[in-house]
């Protein structure tokens, strides 16, 4: 009980401190700070992903993947800052196509014949798709709406909304599951996750979504009505759970407990952003193609 309580305290302190800093940067709309935050978390997460592969001796091209990941996220940020979200989305998609060609080319000139070619290509590309490409959707959200006449961001409120709804889903799952969780959800992937935690996640994300839309109707005008906020709260909450389970699947496959150790009680950067990697694309696509009803 004492160990569980200590873990809870460490996790709560890390979460509160980190997300207070992140929320401050997002709310202020300080553009260079947002670049560093998004780019730093994405690249750290990619590094941790390749480290997990290395720990299980799975073939991949770490240096090639990290270089391509850096170019992908940095280029997306630069394109979004200069020309908006549509061109940033096009850059990220085109960049991923180029990454595919380059990873195949890297394998063609690889001298180690002991490495299974298709595995090295597949694992390297999986990291690029899973982390920088999906993570780039936070950049698309950041530049979804035009800047003010004096050059200040407006899209950062949608990223703040995304982070709040997603992380409250995570918190809801953890707290509800810890307190009343009795029925395992998918034990073969994550034995500690329960159905009670799942419904706690949906409830927290739904309430957070509705409250934020009520508090910031002007800044979040693309979200539309309360009905839209309810729908998004449920969809993003469900996607957040899937994102968490997806990383659990990777960790179980590579026999790793946490992706890293720099966040006490949480783990690594990938443990922090795993759910955001699933919710960011859904929110961006929703706001781009079916703005609030």
Looking at every residue in the chain, the average pLDDT score rounds to 89
Assign 243 a pLDDT band (cuts: 50, 70, 90): very high
pLDDT greater than 50 at residue 1: no
For residue 14, what pLDDT is reported?
61
pLDDT greater than 50 at residue 223: yes
With a pLDDT cut of 70, the percent of the chain lying above it is 88
Domain, as residue range, for 225: 2-289
pLDDT greater than 80 at residue 10: no
What is the rounded CA–CA span in Å between residue 284 and residue 45?
21
For residue 291, what pLDDT is reported?
65
For residue 30, what pLDDT is reported?
82
For residue 69, what pLDDT is reported?
98
The CA-CA-CA angle for residues 215, 273, 179, to 5°, reads 75
Neighbours of 77 (CB within 10 A): 24
Residues 46 and 132: beta-carbon distance below 8 Å: yes
pLDDT greater than 60 at residue 93: yes
What is the rounded CA–CA span in Å between residue 160 and residue 208?
12
For residues 218-228, give the mean pLDDT: 92
Beta bridge partners of 263: 267
For residue 268, what pLDDT is reported?
86
Question: What are residue 74's phi and psi, to 5 degrees?
Answer: -65, -40
For residue 18, what pLDDT is reported?
66
Indicate the angle between helix axes 117-128 and 85-108, nearest 10 degrees: 160
For residues 124-133, give the mean pLDDT: 98
In the 8-state DSSP scheme, what is residue 148?
P
For residue 190, what pLDDT is reported?
87
For residue 29, what pLDDT is reported?
74
For residue 117, what pLDDT is reported?
87
Q: Comparing C-alpha atoms, which of 77, 94, 84 is closest to residue 139?
A: 77
Question: What are residue 278's phi and psi, to 5 degrees?
Answer: -95, -35
Name residues whose C-beta falls within 8 Å of residue 273's C-beta, 6 or more positions apart in sequence: 41, 42, 45, 135
Query: Distance between the two ends of the chain, CA-based, in angstroms?
Result: 47
What is the rounded CA–CA span in Å between residue 59 and residue 123?
7
Q: Which helix (H) or strand (E) holds 122?
A: helix 117-128
Q: Domain total for the chain?
A: 1
Q: Is 45 exposed, middle or buried (0-12, 13-18, 19+ CB in 10 A)?
A: buried
pLDDT greater at residue 150 or residue 11: 150
Q: Comparing C-alpha atoms, which of 85, 11, 74, 24 is closest to residue 46?
A: 74
pLDDT greater at residue 1 or residue 73: 73
The CA-CA-CA angle for residues 69, 242, 85, to 5°, reads 45
For residues 131-140, give the mean pLDDT: 98
Name residues whose C-beta falls within 8 Å of residue 236's C-beta, 6 or more positions apart in sequence: 162, 165, 166, 169, 205, 209, 279, 282, 283
Q: pLDDT tens, 164-222?
A: 999 999 989 988 998 998 899 998 888 889 999 999 999 999 999 999 999 999 999 99
CB hemisphere CA count around 47 (13 angstroms): 12
């Amino acid at each position: 009980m004492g160990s569980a309580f200590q873990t809870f305290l460490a996790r709560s302190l890390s979460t509160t401190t980190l997300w207070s800093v992140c929320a401050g940067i997002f709310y202020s709309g300080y553009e260079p700070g947002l670049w560093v935050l998004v780019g730093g978390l994405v690249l750290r997460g990619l590094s941790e992903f390749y480290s997990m592969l290395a720990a299980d001796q799975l073939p991949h091209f770490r240096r090639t993947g990290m270089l391509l990941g850096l170019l992908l996220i940095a280029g997306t940020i630069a394109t979004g800052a200069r020309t908006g979200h549509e061109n940033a989305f096009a850059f990220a998609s085109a960049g991923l196509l180029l990454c595919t060609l380059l990873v195949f080319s890297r394998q063609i000139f690889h001298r180690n014949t002991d490495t299974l070619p298709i595995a090295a290509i597949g694992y390297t590309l999986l990291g690029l798709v899973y982390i920088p490409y999906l993570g780039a959707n936070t950049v698309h959200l950041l530049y979804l709406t035009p800047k003010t006449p004096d050059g200040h961001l407006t899209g950062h409120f949608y990223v703040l909304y995304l982070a709040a709804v997603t992380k409250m889903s995570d918190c809801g799952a953890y707290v509800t599951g810890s307190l009343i969780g009795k029925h395992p959800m998918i034990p073969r992937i994550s034995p500690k996750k329960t159905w009670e935690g799942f419904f706690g996640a949906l409830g927290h994300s739904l309430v957070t979504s509705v409250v934020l839309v009520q508090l910031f109707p002007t800044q979040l005008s693309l979200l539309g009505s309360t009905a839209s906020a309810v729908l998004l709260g449920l969809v993003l909450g469900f996607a957040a759970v899937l994102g968490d389970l997806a990383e659990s699947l990777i960790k179980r496959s590579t026999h790793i407990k946490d992706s890293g150790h720099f966040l006490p009680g949480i783990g690594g950067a990938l443990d922090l952003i795993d759910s955001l990697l699933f919710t960011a694309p859904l929110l961006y696509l929703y706001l781009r193609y079916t703005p609030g009803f």
